[in-house]
Chains A and B, each alone.
Chain A
Amino acid sequence: MSPSVAELLLQRLEREPPGPGGGLCSLEAAAALGLDHQTLVGAVKSLQALGEVIEAEARAATRWELSEEGAEVLRAGSPEVRLFRSLPPEGLPQSDAMKLPGAQVGFSKAMANKWLRLDKAAPGGPRIFRAVEAVQDAVQDGLRRVQEGDAAGLPERERNELKRRKLLLEVGAPTFPPPPQNDPITPPCRGSWRQLPFKPYNFSALGLPPACGHLHPLLKVRSQLRQIFLEMGFTEMPTDNFVESSFWNFDALFQPQQHPARDQHDTFFLQGPPPRYKYEWKVEEARKNLLRTHTTSASARALYHLACQEKFTPVKYFSIDRVFRNESLDATHLAEFHQVEGVVADRGLTLGHLMGTLREFFTKLGITKLRFKPAYNPYTEPSMEVFSYHEGLKKWVEVGNSGVFRPELLLPMGLPENVSVIAWGLSLER
């Protein structure tokens, strides 16, 4: 569809006064623009597809055309008039009269109009005479008006009469939409398609969207991150407890009990369930149950299990799960979000190893411009925030936090002194 057709149509809609019943008749518009009607209909459809640009409705519009016989009448007059005019003033015997032009069709019409008189008792058989002086050819006149485009001006009774006499044809030309046309290629494909006309396809329109299910975009990212960790040889840690004790969430991570993060306004503490603590930890504070504020508590549990093994084996762990903070919801704050965490425990790990691992991890995420900033976390020392250069924002943005777990955290668990644990975390949402 050439875009200019749609343009022309819009211009015309704007300029033209509305036709009867409002709007513009597609047939008239097509004729006026010198376009094929189908082309114009295509333009209407593509404009409709854009949304609130135009309104279109289907209206049955008919066109009157002269039949072959009608054209003959227009040229030579109606049969009844031709018969009337061919008849000599003294009349003719009926048998001869019936040989005159138009007599076969015109006789009964002329008789019904009382133009003729039949004398059945005349000598030599029935004889036909003119009954009036002159006649008017209303049929021919009517057809002339149609031919001149004034079909609408003809009284309906008269028009229907002409139609009944098959002098006029009512051509159905629906303006919009066109009558459904089946694609000629339908099963069985035997060859009927050869005779049928093709409906043109609109190749610039979109196809029908397939019916499909979807995965959640954030969880798609979670799948990608899981894949990255697996590719890097990291094993998934269990994180199946939204409810955690203050002990694992804070104390085990060397987070002092006066730390601001342990305040009511940052952490969701629980009314129940009653704690059932198995550890020789006396401080009431550590017994308080809460909704975990980070998955580092799960890492602490995993490291404790590792320390309980008979012989230390190096490990790489990861987890991605929900964490909770006591925030009011707004555009930049959520009370729950997903934390991504990676942990490597081995002998002799260095800060260089942490940075190297982070580089590989972020490279797999497509982030290559990295730099590291000193930071403070209660449970890591050294600690560093990871920044990446954001081309869109034209500045360095924080993409993660990391560090080496403090010995005060690892040694009480029973991990050997020469074992270091490096770890990093980031938010899935960010």
Chain B
Amino acid sequence: MPTVSVRRELLFQALGRSYTDEEFDELCFEFGLELDDVTSEKDIISKEKGEGKAEGASDTVLYKIDVPANRYDLLCLEGLVRGLQVFKERINLPRYEKIIPAKGEGQKLIITEETAKVRPHAVAAVLRNITFTKERYDSFIDLQEKLHQNICRRRALVAIGTHDLDTIAGPFTFTAKAPSEIKFKPLNQSQEYTAPQMMDLYRTDSHLRHYLHLIENKPLYPVIYDSNGVVLSMPPIINGDHSKINLNTRNVFVECTGTDMTKAKIVLDTIVTMFSEYCEKPFTVEAVEVVLPNGKTHIYPELAYRKEKVKPEHINKKLGISETPSSLAKLLTRMCLKSHVTGNGNNIEIEIPPTRADIIHACDIVEDAAIAYGYNNIQMTIPKTYTIANQLPLNKLTELLRLDLAAAGFTEALTFALCSQEDIADKLGTDISTTKAVRIANPKTAEFQVARTTLLPGLLKTIAANRKMPLPLKLFEISDIVVKDPSKDVGARNYRHLCAVYYNKSPGFEIIHGLLDRVMQLLEVPPSEENGYVIKATEGSAFFPGRCAEIFAKGQSVGKLGVLHPDVITKFELTMPCSALEINIEPFL
């Protein structure tokens, strides 16, 4: 969930009133936001770097607000304030207007066909006669960063560049060139570098090094030039220093390049709708003509207003409320979805603004109606659906066996399903290739290499962590293990195992054997060769020779029991002898 930090004083000023922290928290809750933290720059620095470093940092109170991941229009102070003000009916929803300059006077961005190999899409727009202040400027930069991190997927899908239009001259060209052919002075550097030099320069940059891989191995790098050959940027890595914006910038050229056209358009719409508020003619954006490699042209930003129709009874039925069509329209309007009733009250016509890219289906409109109505004002009802409950047979059997194993004096453990390869192989004296284990491709630590194929290692590790407990230790677990199974759609399946261990000064084979007999008695399986269960001597790498038996029942081998091999005990850092039993309980259903 993205978090937006705003200065409390600026927020209240923009909202036109002040709130107590509790009141603002309440407002957030109602609107689906979360006031995550009330802090200050000083607090943040002292928490991260220690008291000493915090000296001189600002004491200004900051609100950290969690915003739903699909609401890109709430990622900056401007958007938050606009959303809340409309929600509270303190302002009318602004209408965003695109101004198309007279023919030949507007800006143009030409995309060449070389871009197809690395970053095929680009859109652009101009914010004309904007007035920045320190706060507005910071918010503008911050919004770009928030969009980069969220919808742009760390610049992979879309990268944003903003330029001082007065320092460059159109038409602009978005092309791709061999790295060695690209040379310019990147943002905040004092000299020119070639593209490969820049890649080297930024390899150690804490911020930029995360984006290098996006183009690094491509034959061509994307680059934007103006008509004088000035480099605007090398997306998605860095802008040129020449066209950088500052507090005095009046005209901003915004370009978004990327691999995902839809998202590039959303990102452009979001930036210009949020900051056109500060233009001389508020909420207007100057269009840019984008020429595609095939010669076709498009006008951006799209700033599309879409119309949807929803029946009032649909909203009422989905929410369990009974509001009139006009009051539903009013609720939706409070959510920035300008609505009115049409056709004798049979329909509500809803206008979806370019800021609300999250509205893709009628159910999204229904949700907004619910938020405006207030979730906690909805009458709670119980569905009149009569159904008879059923337990899953395997879980029912598991529950019964758990109770009886505890009644037999064994204590239940709960162990992790993930472990290291050694736990299920080397330490038990087998090779990992013989285990049919499912391997994890990207484990964060060695403890997450494989999904367990047996419950025994987990129980032995539990004993190792509880060596202070009085002897004997009698543990059990009934849980799932995972093995590869080509007959399943995902190529693996779970089995429900029952595992028990007895750890004491003497191995206690007879005790674990007695437990098996008790389990079989509970499962109503008699000790007999026919239709019952038998144990037959066998060898097992984890067991002491001559102290291991295989358990047969229901016409198949269901598990093993025996005295653990001293090597196994030692490898699990244990010192006492131990006997163990592990069976698959699924055949007994």
Alpha-carbon gap, A258 to B262, bound state (A):
13
Residues of A within 8 A of B513 (CB): none
Give the complex CA separation of A266 and B156 in angstroms: 18
B378 in the interface (beta carbon within 8 A): yes
Q: Which residues of A contact B406 (CB under 8 A)?
A: 212-215
Which chain B residues in 360-393 approach chain A with CB under 8 Å?
361-364, 366-367, 370-371, 375-376, 378-383, 385-392
A335 contacts across to B, CB distance below 8 A: 416, 418, 444, 447-448
Contact status A407-B363, CB under 8 Å:
yes
Given A270-B441, A322-B417, A373-B29, decide whether A346 and B385 contact each other with a Cβ distance below 8 A.
yes
Cα–Cα distance between A406 and B451 once the two chains are bound (Å)? 32
Cβ of B157: which chain A residues have Cβ within 8 Å of it? 258
Contacting pair A326 B319 (CB below 8 A): no
**Closest 5 A/B residue pairs (Cβ):** A352-B320, A273-B491, A374-B32, A350-B320, A376-B68
> In the complex, A275 Cα to B492 Cα: how many Å?
9
Measured in the bound complex, the distance between the Cα atoms of B402 and A219 in whole Å is: 10
Closest B residue to A241 using CB positions: B494
Q: Cβ of A349: which chain B residues have Cβ within 8 Å of it? A: 383
Residues of A within 8 A of B412 (CB): 213-216, 219
- Cα(A15)–Cα(B272), bound, Å: 86
From A46-54, A124-132, A223-231, give the one contacting chain B: A223-231
Q: For the complex, is B394 an interface residue (Cβ under 8 Å from A)?
A: yes
Interface pair A273/B492, CB less than 8 Å apart: yes
Contact A233 B448 (CB under 8 A): no
B190, CB-defined interface residue at 8 Å: no
**Interface 0/1 of A302-332, CB less than 8 Å to B:** 0000000000001110000010101111000
- A147 in contact (CB, < 8 A): no
CB nearest neighbor in A for B150: A260
Shortest Cβ distance from A301 into B: residue: B489
A135 within 8 A of B: no
Q: List 27 A-B contacts (CB under 8 A).
A: A211-B409, A213-B406, A213-B409, A214-B411, A219-B412, A226-B395, A233-B386, A234-B387, A238-B394, A240-B496, A268-B441, A270-B438, A273-B438, A276-B491, A314-B387, A326-B444, A326-B448, A349-B383, A356-B381, A356-B382, A360-B382, A372-B375, A372-B376, A373-B32, A374-B68, A375-B68, A406-B363
Nearest chain A residue, comparing its CB with the CB of B476: A213
**Which residues of A have CB within 8 Å of B70?**
376
B265 to chain A, nearest CB (A): 15
Q: In the complex, which residues of chain B have a beta carbon less than 8 angstroms from the beta carbon of A353?
A: 320, 381-383
Q: Is A371's beta carbon under 8 Å from chain B?
A: yes
Is B492 a contact partner of A241 (Cβ separation < 8 A)? yes
Is A137 in contact with chain B by the CB < 8 A criterion? no
Q: Does A245 contact B490, Cβ atoms closer than 8 Å?
A: yes
A322 to B479, CA, bound (A): 10
Residues of A within 8 A of B409 (CB): 211-213
Closest residue of A by beta carbon distance from B413: A216
Q: Tell me, yes or no, whether A198 is within 8 Å of chain B by CB.
A: no
If A316-B387, A372-B376 touch, whether A276 touches B489 (CB-CB below 8 Å) is yes
B319 and A328 within 8 A (CB): no
For residue A300, give the distance in angstroms from its CB to the closest CB of chain B: 13
Smallest CB–CB gap between A424 and chain B, Å?
13
Q: Chain A contacts of B366 at CB under 8 A?
A: 381-382
Q: How far is the CB of A53 from chain B (nearest CB, A)?
A: 21
Nearest CB in chain A to that of B398: its residue: A219
Q: Taking CB as reference atom, which chain A residue is nearest B392?
A: A236
B-contact bits for A252-274, CB 8 A (1 contact / 0 none)? 00000010100011001111111
Within the complex, the shortest CB–CB distance from A170 to chain B, in Å, comes to 41
Besides the known contacts A219-B402, A268-B443, A273-B485, 6 further A-B residue pairs in the complex with CB atoms under 8 A apart: A213-B406, A230-B389, A241-B488, A316-B387, A335-B448, A352-B381
A232 within 8 A of B: yes
**CB neighbours of A375 from chain B (8 A):** 32, 68
Determine the chain A residues whose CB is within 8 A of the CB of B488 once the complex forms: 241, 276
- The complex places the Cα of A268 from the Cα of B418 at a distance, in Å, of 11
Best-surrounded residue of B367, B407, B414 (most CB of chain A within 10 A): B367
Interface residues of B in 425-467 (CB under 8 A from A): 438-445, 447-448, 451
Residue of B whose beta carbon sits closest to that of A238: B392
C-alpha gap A55/B480 in the complex (Å): 50
Docked-complex contact B367 and A374, CB < 8 angstroms: yes
- With A242-B494, A376-B70 known as contacts, the answer to whether A352 contacts B417 (CB < 8 A) is no
A253 to B371, CA, bound (A): 23
Q: Does A296 contact B (CB under 8 A)?
A: no
In the complex, chain A residues whose CB is within 8 Å of the CB of B544: none
Asked if B319 and A352 sit within 8 Å, CB to CB, the answer is yes
Task: Confirm or deny: A244 has a beta carbon within 8 angstroms of a beta carbon on chain B.
Answer: yes
**B403 CB-CB contact with A under 8 Å:** yes
- Identify which of B440, B445, B447 contacts A271 (C-beta below 8 A): B440
For B383, give its contact among A268, A289, A357, A406 (CB under 8 Å): A357
- A268 and B442 contact, CB distance less than 8 A: yes
Residues of chain B contacted by A355 (CB below 8 angstroms): 375, 378, 380
CB-CB under 8 A from B445, the residues of chain A are 328-329
Within 8 Å CB of A293, what residues of B? none
Question: CB < 8 Å: which of B153, B388, B448 contacts A258?
Answer: B153
Q: Which of B71, B389, B390, B416 is in CB contact (< 8 Å) with A232?
A: B389
Smallest CB separation, B433 vs chain A (Å): 12
**Is residue A291 within 8 Å, beta carbon to beta carbon, of the partner chain?**
yes
Q: Nearest Cβ in chain B — how far from A344, in angstroms? A: 6
Most interface-central of A231, A240, A314 (chain B CB within 10 A):
A240
- When distances are taken between beta carbons in the complex, the residues of chain B under 8 Å from A272 are 438-439, 484, 491
Whether the pair A381, B361 counts as a contact (CB closer than 8 A) is: yes
Task: List A residues 361-401 near B (Cβ within 8 Å).
Answer: 371-376, 381-384
Most chain A CB within 10 A, of B153, B387, B408, B447, is at B387
Closest Cβ–Cβ distance, residue B147 to chain A (whole Å): 14
Interface flag for A426 (CB, 8 Å)? no
Q: Is A213 within 8 A of B443, CB to CB?
A: no
A218 interface hit (Cβ, 8 Å) = yes
CA distance A371 to B32 in the complex (A): 12
In the complex, whether B547 has a CB less than 8 A from a CB of chain A is no
Q: Are A213 and B411 in contact (CB under 8 A)?
A: yes
Q: Are B389 and A359 in contact (CB under 8 A)?
A: no
Tell me whether B375 and A384 are in contact (CB under 8 A): yes
Q: Does A408 contact B (CB under 8 A)?
A: yes
B255 to chain A, nearest CB (A): 21
* Inter-chain contact A278/B489, CB cutoff 8 Å: yes
Query: Which A residues are in CB contact (< 8 Å) with B491?
Result: 243, 272-276, 289
> How far, in angstroms, from A219 to B390 measured CA to CA in the complex?
19
Complex Cα gap A148–B387 (Å): 94
Q: How far is the CA of A304 from the CA of B153 in the complex (A)?
A: 31
Residues from chain B with Cβ under 8 Å of A237 in the complex: 392
Q: Is the CB of A241 within 8 A of B493?
A: yes
Answer yes or no: A351 CB below 8 A from chain B CBs. Answer: yes
Complex CA distance for A408 and B412, rounded to whole angstroms: 43
Residues 9-30 of A at the B interface (beta carbon under 8 Å): none
**Does A36 sit within 8 A of B, measured CB to CB?**
no
